[in-house]
Structure 1
Amino acid sequence: MMHEKKRLHPIAIVIHMVKRLKQGPFLALVLLIAIKEKTGDPFVDWSPLFLFLLYAMFAGYMSWRRFTYRLEEHNMYIEQGIVVKKKRYIPFDRIQGISHSSGLLQRLVGVVQVHIETAGRQIDEPEVILSAVSIEEAKQIERAVHHQKRENMFIEIEYKTDIVFTLRFRDVLFLSITSGGVFGVIAAIGAFLSDFDNFIPFERLNIFFRVDDTASTLVFLLVVLMIAYVLSVIGHLFRYMNFTVVKQNKTITITTGLLQKKSISTSIERVQAIAVKESPIRYLFGYVSVHLIHAGGALDDGKHGSLVLFPLVRKNEVTSLVATCFPEYRLHNSFRSLCTRARWRYMLRSLYKVMLIPVITIVFFQRFETLLLLLPAVHVGYRSYKRAGVALEREQLALRSGWLTIKTVYMLKQRIQSFTISQSRMQQRARLCTVHATVMPGIRKKVVDVDEREAKAIYEWFLENKE
């Protein structure tokens, strides 16, 4: 059955325009330099900015005009490109996941953005993004894909009843307060100030913060940190409000967001491993986060191949929740600790990383008190040793490591693509090895200083009945 060619909603012109403005940092920097040299004529001074805006508007219109898509019986046909026209056929059976998101612009006109993840996609290959289609059209695409995959039940996000997990408001607030996104906000503020330093009257700030006044400088830095922290908390609140996980048949659907609502659907068959992360502050209160390592792109705009399943969950509830979504996995905490021969190696490695600081301060400044830095370094190494471990079951391997944030990865045997053992000369003397398990290209987990016999046992288990 052949369908006619369709275009995106006209709001896509504005969306493409905004993307052009965001994706032109070099051109924007050139324009800023041109604007700074004032001639006294406003038309001449601001003409580069006007030209850049006209270019963004023209590019946004042409991107919308030249983009068409068509649903056929077994595939989707897409044409796009402003200068060079590209044609692309996407078979429905190669579509692995479909996610929806609706930002402010989409919600104003009642449309959604459809993000289609395809199998076999290269890391540098663009995914399929329909930036503005009607809700009914998005459902039609999903129906066509599920029909091709012989799934009789169509997922409708608005009428879910089988809810596996819901993030409560108090948990969202705790997640936002304990997030580490403040450093990214500080970096963004620093980049903004470095680009617009000539437009901001910093000299007026000297009335309140004198350069030679240490106390005023510390207060200024504290204010910047507080602003960055508040912005980070607000950003996480907007991102994780209304976070819900639903399972239906072999599909996991995640909905999240306050201002920009997202709906992410991914097949259980794409999941390669499950990772549990334990940060220090959240772990003290009995919370962890669970992530999926899946064969696909960054569906939630995070790290490639990683998808947040439970951003914050009680540790005693992880096993039952994961078993509801993935019955073949067994999450536990019964890890085999590393042998005592590895303890001193972990502590010495931690010392090596900070040894240079006290050496320099003692040689040049005679500050012997910097030797106190060695004590926390030893503690970090000992903590890394105590938390590292491996757990081998019949069809599952679990590796755990880390010192500040402990990360545990659970991998099914049939999902492990490769397993390697490496051994340095020092490890050879201590009869220790480093084990590496790869679940997909570019994503692997390792544990250092595993007992040699235990590493060989895991390797033999991996090769057993492996064709």
Structure 2
Amino acid sequence: MNDEAVALGPPERLHPLSLLSSLGASLRGMWGLFAAGGYFAVQGNWLLLTVTAALFAIFSVGAAVLRWRRFAFRVGAREIRVDSGLLSQTHRSIPFDRIQDVTVEQGPLARALGLARVRFETGGSAGTKEDGSLAAIPLQRAEEIRDLVRASRGLAAAPAVGQITEEEQPVFAMDLRRVLLAGVFNFSLAVLGGLVGLTQTFGDALNFDPFRRRFWEGLFAPGTPLGDFFLAHQVAAITAGALTLILIGLGTGLLRTVLREHGFRLDRTAVGLRRRRGLLTLTDVVLPARRTQAAIIATGPVRERFGWSTLKLQSLAKEEAGKGDHVVAPLAQEAEIAAVLGAIGWPAPRGPQWRRVSSAYVAAFAAALAPFALIAAANLAFQPAVGTAGLAILAILLAVRVLAWRRYAFALDGDRLLVRSGWWRRRLKILPLRNIQSVDYQQMFLDRWFGAANILIGVAGGGMSGHGIKALPAGTARDIRDHLLSRFT
């Protein structure tokens, strides 16, 4: 046995439960095969349906088993090595000193079996996903690996997953009532998008596609029961349809929020914040304070009226979905947000001197809409209803822009830049000047026309798309750029 094998330790395999995740990935990639099977079933061609099922079993189940058999990992004193691959074998080494974040997750079945998933993120994935993961290993082994990585970096071991010391006061927590309230505010019609995808895949085979006009024309044709009822009770039918959409949106928001935020608890640790949440999938993440690049306080006109906001921290550590924005307070009052910010050493904004942006923010937008307004106005002579609807939509867009401009402002608050924006999606961004990596001065065609300019600000892990100040007077934009860049010299 060579020194490398001794240093790395014996090879370990994943639990057979990891085969389920492999099969799930295979299922997501074989919609065409399912559509073909559904078509053969409707046509009564059972021979081809049997052949299709056999092909799925051979290529999906067989490949998943072979991948599981070829997957192994070794844990050493300073690194983890993952060996995988069927025809092309990969031996990937992940040094402990390059691992920036370790996350332990448990789904409902994994909790029942005492298993967990471990995710590693080093920054080598360019922020798109984690660099490596162990899909299903014993929970005790997952905690040992997490503690080993933390110990190698001089950090204290985290408590075991699911062990919450009640006598320790959390920085922030949400009971079931608060979670349900957050679900109401998270109104969503995303389920309709999923239904559109399903009908696009299986609609023709099943002869059922409610997103096509002919489907409803057949249901509500004169002489049909639904058609006669709609003609006799038009107001009631329209009201029932609107209420159905509202109930779908509320139900979707409640379901998504309860599944994600149930049991939400945020605790202070020696290095930052520890967040635990999830009903079916329990996630346990530690967010180092020193890796936090920016804070975002998000709200809306309805939520703000009742004093509710959401706090996100933009960090170099990536979220489960590959994003750098970590929600650390899904629904909180101002004092609770101040407490969370204080836990990482960031004071909450207190009465900054706000400076409004230029009216070019509205004027340039109106100029961009002008061609569409002319088309809609010209269409009044040929299709009055379409032209009127187009002008109404443009007027609403312009009104929303005006309301957003009235809120858009920025402030230099000591060693931080504050940017307040949006009317419907209201945001307050807190950017410590020490975290700013780059500053760009930008002028588009319409900006030059109105004497305005934009400032684009880049922070580590956030790119250039998320932060900046739009529609500043050109001279003010240059002064702000020079002030921010002076921090680098």
- Provide the residue aligned with 2:336 in structure 1: 317
Match of 2:309 among 273, 285, 288: 288
- Provide the residue aligned with 1:193 in structure 2: 199
CA distance in 2, matches of 1:316, 1:355: 45
Q: Is the 8 A contact 1:17 1:59 kept in 2?
A: no
CA distance in 1, matches of 2:37, 2:317: 37
Match of 2:13 among 1, 7, 10: 7
Bigger mean CA deviation after superposition, 182-191 or 206-215: 206-215
Q: Is the 8 A contact 2:104 2:285 kept in 1?
A: yes
CA distance in 2, matches of 1:131, 1:105: 13
Aligned residue pairs, count:
461
Residue 331 of structure 2 corresponds to residue 331 of structure 1: no
Task: Tell me the CA shift for residue 465 of structure 1.
Answer: 3.8
- In structure 2, give the amino acid aligned to 1:308: V
Q: Is the 8 A contact 1:169 1:241 kept in 2?
A: yes
CA gap 1:32/1:453 in 2 versus in 1, 3 angstroms: same
Task: Tell me the CA shift for residue 221 of structure 1.
Answer: 7.2
Q: Is the 8 A contact 2:455 2:481 kept in 1?
A: no
- In structure 2, stretches of 5+ residues that fail to align are 1-6, 210-214
- Provide the residue aligned with 2:101 in structure 1: 97
Q: Is the 8 A contact 1:323 1:330 kept in 2?
A: yes
Q: Is the 8 A contact 1:276 1:408 kept in 2?
A: yes
Could you report, residue by residue, the CA deviation over 1:354-383 in whole angstroms, capped at 9, with x for unpaired residues?
736742541322357555555534431221
- Provide the residue aligned with 2:457 in structure 1: 437
CA gap 1:408/1:357 in 2 versus in 1, 3 angstroms: farther
Q: Is the 8 A contact 2:411 2:419 kept in 1?
A: yes
CA distance in 2, matches of 1:45, 1:58: 19
Task: Tell me the CA shift for residue 31 of structure 1.
Answer: 4.2
CA distance in 2, matches of 1:343, 1:312: 30
Bigger mean CA deviation after superposition, 165-174 or 348-357: 348-357
Q: Is the 8 A contact 1:277 1:405 kept in 2?
A: yes
Q: Is the 8 A contact 1:209 1:220 kept in 2?
A: no
- Provide the residue aligned with 1:69 in structure 2: 73
CA distance in 2, matches of 1:434, 1:118: 33
CA gap 1:238/1:328 in 2 versus in 1, 3 angstroms: closer
CA distance in 1, matches of 2:243, 2:53: 35
- In structure 1, give the amino acid aligned to 2:373: M
Residue 326 of structure 2 corresponds to residue 304 of structure 1: no
CA gap 1:460/1:294 in 2 versus in 1, 3 angstroms: same
- In structure 2, give the amino acid aligned to 1:287: W
- Provide the residue aligned with 1:274 in structure 2: 295
Q: Is the 8 A contact 2:11 2:72 kept in 1?
A: yes
**1:63-212 matches, cutoff 5 A:** 63-123=67-127, 127-157=131-161, 158-160=163-165, 161=168, 163-180=170-187, 182-197=188-203, 198-199=205-206, 209-210=226-227
CA distance in 2, matches of 1:50, 1:228: 40
CA distance in 2, matches of 1:159, 1:344: 51
When normalised by structure 1's length, the TM-score is: 0.88
Residue 422 of structure 2 corresponds to residue 402 of structure 1: yes
Q: Name the SS of the counterpart of 1:196 in structure 2.
A: helix
- In structure 1, give the amino acid aligned to 2:202: F
CA gap 1:232/1:336 in 2 versus in 1, 3 angstroms: closer
Task: Tell me the CA shift for residue 430 of structure 1.
Answer: 4.3
Q: Percent same amino acid among aligned pairs?
A: 19
- In structure 2, give the amino acid aligned to 1:417: Q
Q: Name the SS of the counterpart of 2:171 in structure 1.
A: strand
Residue 285 of structure 2 corresponds to residue 264 of structure 1: yes
Q: Name the SS of the counterpart of 2:311 in structure 1.
A: strand
- In structure 2, give the amino acid aligned to 1:94: R
- Provide the residue aligned with 2:384 in structure 1: 366
- Provide the residue aligned with 2:34 in structure 1: 28
- Provide the residue aligned with 1:240 in structure 2: 261
Could you report, residue by residue, the CA deviation over 1:127-178 in whole angstroms, capped at 9, with x for unpaired residues?
3121111111111111111111012443434144352110122221111112
Could you report, residue by residue, the CA deviation over 1:285-310 in whole angstroms, capped at 9, with x for unpaired residues?
1111111212243x233x62222111
CA gap 1:412/1:138 in 2 versus in 1, 3 angstroms: same
Bigger mean CA deviation after superposition, 110-119 or 343-352: 343-352
Q: Is the 8 A contact 2:115 2:138 kept in 1?
A: yes
Q: Is the 8 A contact 1:273 1:412 kept in 2?
A: yes
Q: Is the 8 A contact 1:74 1:91 kept in 2?
A: yes
Q: Is the 8 A contact 1:275 1:291 kept in 2?
A: yes
Task: Tell me the CA shift for residue 446 of structure 1.
Answer: 2.6
**1:212-251 matches, cutoff 5 A:** 213=230, 215=234, 218=238, 219=240, 223=244, 226-227=247-248, 229-251=250-272
Residue 64 of structure 2 corresponds to residue 60 of structure 1: yes
CA distance in 2, matches of 1:311, 1:435: 29
- Provide the residue aligned with 2:443 in structure 1: 423
- In structure 1, give the amino acid aligned to 2:366: L
Q: Name the SS of the counterpart of 2:402 in structure 1.
A: helix
- Provide the residue aligned with 1:255 in structure 2: 276
- In structure 2, give the amino acid aligned to 1:406: R
Task: Tell me the CA shift for residue 222 of structure 1.
Answer: 5.4
CA gap 1:430/1:231 in 2 versus in 1, 3 angstroms: closer
Bigger mean CA deviation after superposition, 241-250 or 150-159: 150-159
- Provide the residue aligned with 1:386 in structure 2: 406
Could you report, residue by residue, the CA deviation over 1:331-350 in whole angstroms, capped at 9, with x for unpaired residues?
34635232564465267268
When normalised by structure 2's length, the TM-score is: 0.84
CA distance in 1, matches of 2:17, 2:31: 24
Task: Tell me the CA shift for residue 23 of structure 1.
Answer: 3.3
Task: Tell me the CA shift for residue 329 of structure 1.
Answer: 5.2
CA gap 1:30/1:357 in 2 versus in 1, 3 angstroms: farther
CA distance in 2, matches of 1:309, 1:455: 32
- In structure 2, give the amino acid aligned to 1:364: F
CA distance in 2, matches of 1:434, 1:263: 39
Q: Name the SS of the counterpart of 2:352 in structure 1.
A: coil
Task: Tell me the CA shift for residue 8 of structure 1.
Answer: 1.0
